[in-house]
Amino acid sequence: MTEFVHPTILFFVGALVIPFLNGTVRKFWQLLIPALAIGVVAIAQPGSYGTVWFLGQELLIARVDKLSLVFASVFTIMSLIGMVYALHLKRPGQHVAAFLYVGSALGVVFAGDYLTLFVFWEGMAFASAYLIFAAGDERAVQAGFRYLMVHLTGGIALLGGVILHGAATGSVMFGPIEGPLGAAAYLILIGFTLNAAVPPLNAWLTDAYPEATVTGAVFLSAFTTKTAVYVLARGFPGAELLVWFGTAMAIYGVIYAVMENDCRRLLAYHIVSQVGYMVAGIGIGTEMALNGATSHAFAHILYKALLFMGAGAVIYVTGRRKLTELGGLYRTMPLTVTLYMIGAFAISAFPFFSGFVTKSMVVSAAGYDHRAVVMLLLTLASSGTFLHTGLKLPYYMFFGKDSGLRPPEPPRNMLVAMSIAAALCIGIGVYPAPLYALLPYEVDYHPYTWPHVTESMGILMFTALGFVLFLKALDPEDTISIDTDWFYRKGARAFMRFAEKPFARYEQAVSAVSEKSLLPFMHRSAQAGLRADLGGIDAIVNGVARKVLRGGEKLRRVQTGIVTHYAVGMIAGVIAAIAIFAVVWL
Amino acid sequence: MIARIVSFFGDSKYANLRLRLFYLVLALIVVADFLVPREHVEYLWERLPGWSAVYGFASCVAIIFVSKFLGHQGGLMRPEDYYD
């Protein structure tokens, strides 16, 4: 088989069909598409597919090589697990969004040029935002608007960087950025690191993921940050800056996790922390470090999804999400506890679990590269990882004081999805050879040496000792933590109070113009499409502004039409991008 | 079987046994760390048996108290209606 079937096509076609199917047929379809995608990626041959000329630029829709294939493999496996977990949902909306989201993520992973990458990059932002909006409550809608606003801003930075880069080099091919970083490279880097949730651009993640639906958060935890890891590994290997941002990030997430009371927000801070290892690995840039970053991304997707599935299952059966309101669930949910703990052991890098064979590769790579401080700080962060995901969260959620809740185990499909992920977490840990064979460079690393095992156990179990001795200090508190989203949640509000008058006057003027001259013109031309377009864009602009700046009530109404509005907005964005390219190159 | 293992970790009647087993495991880890052969080590601390135990414990304590300090004294932890 020489031809390459792009898995994005499978997911996009799959998404189109879902609304027309029902019952068992739809469930079968939802599992068939990810299964086919896994197969397509497994047999894909490295090469370049789909070269097209567009506005005088050579674009490459799919570049297939070892780096893109390892990410595509885990993305397709994850899509199957996520779909099994969400199988009980009757309404099609979230399934469609999840398919579009996964398809876009795969589009980014295979994109050979920046323009293709950008289009799928924006597609991911919109499709994933639906998984937050779908939760439906006021907080989710507000968090969703903030999420979109931040990602659109990041997208603009990325597009700006791409245009500058293209104008300077004459090519939009996506590859390692050569030489010292210039303005174009920094803009692209901002776009990429925003999606990787590198502080200070991290708050969108911990703000929005815990507000998503139970099943949506599982998808969210897997794709956005890891596509960002992929593009960083492709574009910026060996960028010294990333070593320090990555290390800081690993500790940042751990520090915030101590203060956190919301179970999924605690896990979200650990995404920040774990992605820190990957970013640091990419920054170190040796073959071993890049292998470590890639394999850690692979393992991370599976165990983090497992943890989110476990916490999601608890939210699903109890309706509660705060650690202060949970406790004692082990009596009626032993299977959930066990599966969750497998994920917790994997993220903590216990021997015979997946984190042990991947995270240590990054840490050792730092050691071989004579970066003692990085190595020590990353080890410190691993202690924190076990402290929260392996001890604090399960203790207060499943054990600890009895909340009196006696919920049943979650639906069977959820348990099956968690079991698949758990099996992979153990499988990779016990027998890492197949994963190592997938990595972009040849692996000369042996995780199972006696010193490594005893050292890891020492770090982990004496962390547990600290937990046992200082348990009281760790009691969760009824608080929220201030992160960098403060600037656009509080700061923007202050700015609005200051700027409200001129802003209102400007709006008045604009609407006067549109009523007097624009509307009659539109009626004359009577193009329904155009009307929808303007209405949609207007709604987004107003929606984002008002929700974020004033937090008003009115915009809840927008919720109902949100998918169409954002679809229109997305198309408008793509058209704008093409227009800008046309201006630059023609 | 799974339910029984899980209840061993939850049920308060096993609390003493759990703690004793835990301390036994800690002791075994430190003993093992003294016994393992170390051939090629790069950094000074990797030569010290028991180093990882000390570093793990110190990291854990540091993380707990630094975070809580930042949260309470640094003002990062706020009431839940802070943004409303």
Pairing of strands B77-79, A479-481: antiparallel
Please report whether residue A533 resides in a domain: yes
In angstroms, rounded to a whole number, what is the distance separating the alpha carbons of residues A232 and A246? Answer: 12
From chain A, pick out residues whose CB is under 8 angstroms from the CB of B59. Answer: 379-380, 383-384, 459, 463
pLDDT of residue A216: 96
> Which percentage of chain A shows pLDDT scores above 90?
70
- Percent of chain A's residues with pLDDT above 70: 85
The neighbour count for residue A16, using CB atoms within 10 Å, is: 12
Last residue of a domain, one of A474, A501, A535: A474
Task: Please provide the DSSP assignment of B32-81 as one string.
Answer: HHHHS---S--SGGGGSTTHHHHHHHHHHHHHHHHHHHHHHTSS-EEETT
Note whether A348 and B27 are within 8 A (CB): no
Split into its structural domains, chain A has a count of 2
In terms of phi and psi (left: phi > 0; alpha: psi -120 to 50; beta: otherwise), the region of A179 is left
State the angle between helix axes of A23-43 and A93-110 in degrees (0 to 180), rounded to the nearest 10: 10
Write the pLDDT tens digit of every residue in A350-363.
999 999 999 999 99
Cβ contact, residue pair B71, A481, below 8 Å: yes
Q: What's the whole-number average pLDDT of chain A? A: 87
Q: Is A464 a member of any domain?
A: yes
Size of interface A-B (CB pairs under 8 A): 159
Give A372-388 pLDDT, tens digit per residue. 999 999 999 999 999 99
Identify whether residues A467 and A491 lie together within a single domain: no
What is residue A190's predicted lDDT score, i.e. its pLDDT? Answer: 95
For range A166-194, the mean pLDDT: 89
Q: With an 8 Å Cβ cutoff, are B56 and A460 in contact?
A: yes
What mean pLDDT comes out for the span A90-101?
94
Alpha-carbon distance values, A178 to A193, A237, A322, A532 (Å):
18, 10, 47, 44
Task: Output the pLDDT for position A544.
Answer: 53
A491 pLDDT above the threshold of 80: no
Same domain, A456 and A490: no
Whether A536 is covered by a domain: the verdict is yes
Q: Would you call B48 an interface residue with chain A, using a CB distance cutoff of 8 Å?
A: no
More confident call, A240 vs A548: A240
User: Does B29 touch chain A if contact means CB atoms closer than 8 Å?
Assistant: yes
Residue bearing tokens 């779908």: A134
A196 and A250 in contact (C-beta within 8 Å)?
A: no
**Is the domain of A252 the same as that of A380?**
yes
Of the candidates A109, A152, A106, A386, the one whose C-alpha atom is nearest the C-alpha of residue A273 is A386
Residue recorded with tokens 């990410």: A71
Hey, are the CB atoms on A477 and B77 less than 8 Å from each other?
yes
Q: B18 to chain A: nearest residue by CA?
A: A468
A454 vs B contacts (CB less than 8 Å):
29, 32-33, 36, 52
CB contact under 8 A, A255 and B66: yes
On whether residue A508 sits in a domain, the answer given is yes
Instruction: Identify the band that residue A532 occupies on the pLDDT scale cut at 50, 70 and 90.
Output: very low
- Mean pLDDT for the stretch of residues A422-448: 95
**Nearest CA-CA distance, residue B44 and chain A, Å:** 10
Do A468 and A493 lie in one domain? The reply is no
Mark whether A400 and A542 lie in a shared domain: no
If you average pLDDT over residues A365-372, what whole number do you get? 92
For A580, the domain range is 486-585
| Each residue's pLDDT tens digit, A549-568 | 544 343 343 344 454 555 55
Chain A hits for B82, Cβ within 8 Å = 480, 482
Residues shown for chain B: 84
Q: How high is the pLDDT of residue A552?
A: 37
Mean pLDDT of A493-513: 70
Which one of A411, A441, A474 terminates a domain? A474
Residue A125, in any domain of the structure: no
Q: Express each pLDDT in A382-418 by its tens digit.
A: 999 999 999 999 999 999 888 888 999 999 999 999 9
Position A114 in a domain: no
Q: Inter-chain contact A459–B52, Cβ cutoff 8 Å?
A: yes
Same domain, A306 and A450: yes
For chain B, the structural domain boundaries read: 1-36, 43-84
Instruction: Decide if A466 and B33 are in contact by the 8 Å CB cutoff.
Output: no
Distance CA A449, CA A444 (A): 13
Among residues A182, A385, A398, A201, which one has the least CA distance to residue A299? A385
Q: Report in angstroms the alpha-carbon separations of A331 from A64, A246, A337.
A: 49, 39, 10
Four-residue CA torsion sign, A553, A557, A559, A562: negative
If asked whether residues A459 and A490 sit together in one domain, one would say no
pTM above 0.80, yes or no: yes
- Round to whole Å and give the CA distance between A518 and A198: 43
Of B2, B59, B76, Cβ closest to residue A334:
B2
**A505 in the same domain as A530:** yes
What's residue A517's pLDDT? 66
- pLDDT for A468 equals 93
Residues A495, A404 within the same domain = no
Task: Please answer yes or no on whether B56 and A331 come within 8 Å at the CB atom.
Answer: no
Query: Confidence class of residue A529 from pLDDT cuts 50, 70 and 90?
Result: very low
Question: What confidence tens digit (pLDDT) does each residue in A119-141 have?
Answer: 999 999 999 999 999 999 999 99
- Give the domain-ending residue among A453, A474, A495: A474
pLDDT at A308: 97
A361 shares a domain with A460: yes
Q: How far does the CA of residue A271 sit from the closest CA of chain B (Å)? A: 17
Q: A255: which chain B residues are within 8 Å (Cβ-Cβ)?
A: 63, 66-67, 70
Q: Please check whether residues A282 and A395 belong to one and the same domain.
A: yes
> Cβ of B56 and A338 within 8 Å?
no
CA distance A461 to chain B (A): 7
By the 10 Å C-beta count (0-12 exposed, 13-18 middle, 19+ buried), A505 is classed as: exposed
Residue A388 located in a structural domain: yes
The ipTM (two decimal places) reads 0.94
Q: Is the pLDDT of residue A161 over 50?
A: yes
Q: Is residue A260 part of a domain?
A: yes
Residue B27 at interface with chain A, using a CB cutoff of 8 Å:
no
Q: Are residues A274 and A392 in the same domain?
A: yes
